[in-house]
Amino acid sequence: MPAANIAAQAGESKISLFEITSNYSGSLEIPSESIYELNYYESILDNTVRVTSTIVDAGGKDFSLFEDGSINLTVGEKVQLRMNDGYGFSLDFTGDKQLRIDKTRAIEESTNKMAFTIDLFSKESINNELEQYRVRQRFDGKISDSVEKILTEVLKTEKEVDIDPTLNNLSFIGTGLRPLGLPLYKCAWLGARSVPDIKDAKGNFAGFFFYETYEGFKFKSIDKLFIDQEPKRKLVFTNSIGEVPPGYDAKILDFSFDNSFDMKSALTTGSQTAAKMKAVNSYESSYRENPFESSNQFNEDNTGGKEQPKIASDLKVQEQVSMISYKWDDPGFIVAGKNLKEQLPKSTFVNYNNDEILRQSYMRYNNLFSVKMSLTIAGDMSLRAGDLVHCDFAEISNKQEKTYSSKKSGIYMIVDVCHRITRTGCHTRLNLVRESIGRKSFK
């Protein structure tokens, strides 16, 4: 059962604008009292922000979505939304940030009212499916530059684009076909093939997330998310009644842990063990094996905790190979260069070095989710997917003087964030992860 602080209170909130431009009846502003519940979502695993709202339509004089007994909405309608929390932070989805209706569902009707739920997402999610925005051309050079071109020149988004520079290059051709021809999918596909421009990254660190937050689209290195950020909020769980303890920003209302050190999963993915690459180069008629240890990815500067979890130390599994991947090299395939003169000297090169990238990113994605936790705080709309937070939890012991848990406490990354507004207040729900254990020094 999740731990809970029964003395904690929900945060304040206000929905100041919820305007739908109906395909049938034009602009319609929904009164805040008709909004039963609203949930705003961001995730580093999703390429669009999302909103789900439940609306109760009583068919009043000034507000009605009825038309001859039917709901007066279809799909794709423009929605302007503005809301804020008790701290003064706001989310303003107007203008270029306007949302669109994905679907209308869960419709319940009676003789005098109708309740229904609408799901909203970004306009780019619609454009992503249209032929005119498909990825068709050839790209060369740094992957980070290609991602920026796909978003700004192909998808033609007007939103902010925040991209971490990549160390490696990749030449590729867009097919225009699903799914690799879809701009948003292509950016996520490139994330798994990207190496961050940080010290000792080559051969050790790889893997980017592509996602959208309120601030815009982001293409961010897993490791740089830890290196470049300080915790945005310092949270504490305490059953005491009263003010937030000094040095902290908010109290944790409830939380639950999932220390998902699954032995089978760790062995299958190689996230806590070693991995081996077996490859054949057809041009040189050669075979090679390339080992890689997951411990190479653990550096206190780019992790949430202090140490890699030890698994079955008597078996020494972390020193043994559990994942084997296979690669057939493709020398001469999509060689970088604009003409034959530039391409010929590189005709024996391999366009993509799988030994140093894809295996490392696969392991990094998996080990990041080794420790998972969910918690709730009073509504804080400044928190974004990809942010770091510092959490402290009391140590479970019979000591008279309680201290904070050295294992559970520490820095976590926000994977999913949900700001939930109801008639009783606003809460923020966070799904957090990290790949390591141990509480770093409190800054």
Cα separation of 214 and 384, whole Å? 8
pLDDT digits (tens, 9 = 90+) for 362-389: 889 988 998 899 999 999 999 999 999 9
Q: What is the pLDDT of residue 98?
A: 94
**What b-and-e string marks burial along 360-393, b requiring 16 or more CB atoms within 10 Å of the CB?**
bbbbbbbbbbbbbbbbbbbbbbbbbbbbbbbbbb
More confident residue, 258 or 170: 170
Which residues, at least 6 apart from 313, have a Cβ–Cβ distance to it below 8 Å? none
Report whether pLDDT(38) > 70. Answer: yes
Scan for tokens 């569902």, then name that residue.
105
Report whether pLDDT(7) > 50. Answer: no
Least confident of 84-88, 155-159, 273-277: 273-277
Domains plus CATH for the chain?
A: 1-123+230-256+369-443 (2.30.300.10), 128-228+261-362 (no CATH)
Report whether pLDDT(303) > 90. Answer: no
Instruction: Identify which of 327-336, 386-395, 398-407 has the greatest average pLDDT.
Output: 386-395
Q: What is the pLDDT of residue 4?
A: 45
Q: Find, among 344, 391, 81, the residue nearest to 238 by Cα.
A: 391
Report whether pLDDT(400) > 60. Answer: no
Q: What is the pLDDT of residue 326?
A: 85
Burial of 193 (0-12, 13-18, 19+ CB in 10 A): buried
Confidence at 75, pLDDT banded by 50, 70, 90: confident
More confident residue, 223 or 301: 223
Q: What is the pLDDT of residue 71?
A: 59
For residues 419 and 385, the answer to whether their CB atoms sit within 8 Å is: no
Which residues, at least 6 apart from 30, have a Cβ–Cβ distance to it below 8 Å? 18, 19, 20, 55, 63
Q: 176: helix, coil or strand?
A: coil
Least confident of 196-210, 219-233, 237-251, 363-377: 237-251
Residue 349's CB: how many other CB atoms inside 10 A?
Answer: 14
More confident residue, 386 or 443: 386
Burial of 107 (0-12, 13-18, 19+ CB in 10 A): exposed
What is the percent of the chain where pLDDT is above 70? 91
Report whether pLDDT(402) > 90. Answer: no
CA angle, 382 then 385 then 386, to 5°:
110
Structure tokens at 234: 């310092």
Report whether pLDDT(316) > 90. Answer: no
For residues 168 and 188, the answer to whether their CB atoms sit within 8 Å is: no
Question: What are the beta bridge partners of residue 161?
Answer: 217
More confident residue, 46 or 11: 46
Q: What is the pLDDT of residue 332?
A: 79
Are β-strands 161-163 and 216-221 bridged in parallel, bridged antiparallel, or unpaired?
A: parallel
Which residues, at least 6 apart from 327, have a Cβ–Cβ distance to it below 8 Å? 277, 278, 279, 280, 354, 355
Q: 422: helix, coil or strand?
A: strand
State in Å, rounded, how far the first CA of the chain is from the last one: 31
For residues 385 and 48, the answer to whether their CB atoms sit within 8 Å is: no
Rounded to an integer, the average pLDDT of 90-104 is 94
Rounded to an integer, the average pLDDT of 55-74 is 64
Report whether pLDDT(92) > 80. Answer: yes
Asked if the bond preceding 179 is cis, omega within 30° of 0, the reply is: yes
pLDDT digits (tens, 9 = 90+) for 165-195: 999 999 999 888 889 999 999 999 999 999 9
Q: What is the pLDDT of residue 26?
A: 78
More confident residue, 223 or 443: 223
Which residues, at least 6 apart from 229, have a Cβ–Cβ distance to it below 8 Å? 387, 388
Rounded to an integer, the average pLDDT of 240-261 is 83
What mean pLDDT is reported for the chain? Answer: 86
What's the pTM? 0.90
Report whether pLDDT(8) > 50. Answer: no
Residue 336's CB: how many other CB atoms inside 10 A?
Answer: 14
Report whether pLDDT(397) > 90. Answer: no
DSSP letters for 300-369: GGGSSSSBPPP--TTTTGGGSEEEEEEEE--BTTT-SSSSHHHHGGGTTSBSS-TTTTHHHHHHHHHHHT
pLDDT digits (tens, 9 = 90+) for 99-156: 999 998 877 877 677 788 999 999 999 999 999 999 999 999 999 999 999 999 999 9
Q: How far is CA 258 from the centre of its chain?
A: 18
Scan for tokens 């003010």, then name that residue.
243
Cα separation of 135 and 307, whole Å? 42
Confidence at 93, pLDDT banded by 50, 70, 90: very high
Rounded to an integer, the average pLDDT of 211-223 is 97
Burial of 249 (0-12, 13-18, 19+ CB in 10 A): middle
**What b-and-e string marks burial along 417-442, b requiring 16 or more CB atoms within 10 Å of the CB?**
bbbbbeeebbbbbbbbbbbbbbbbee
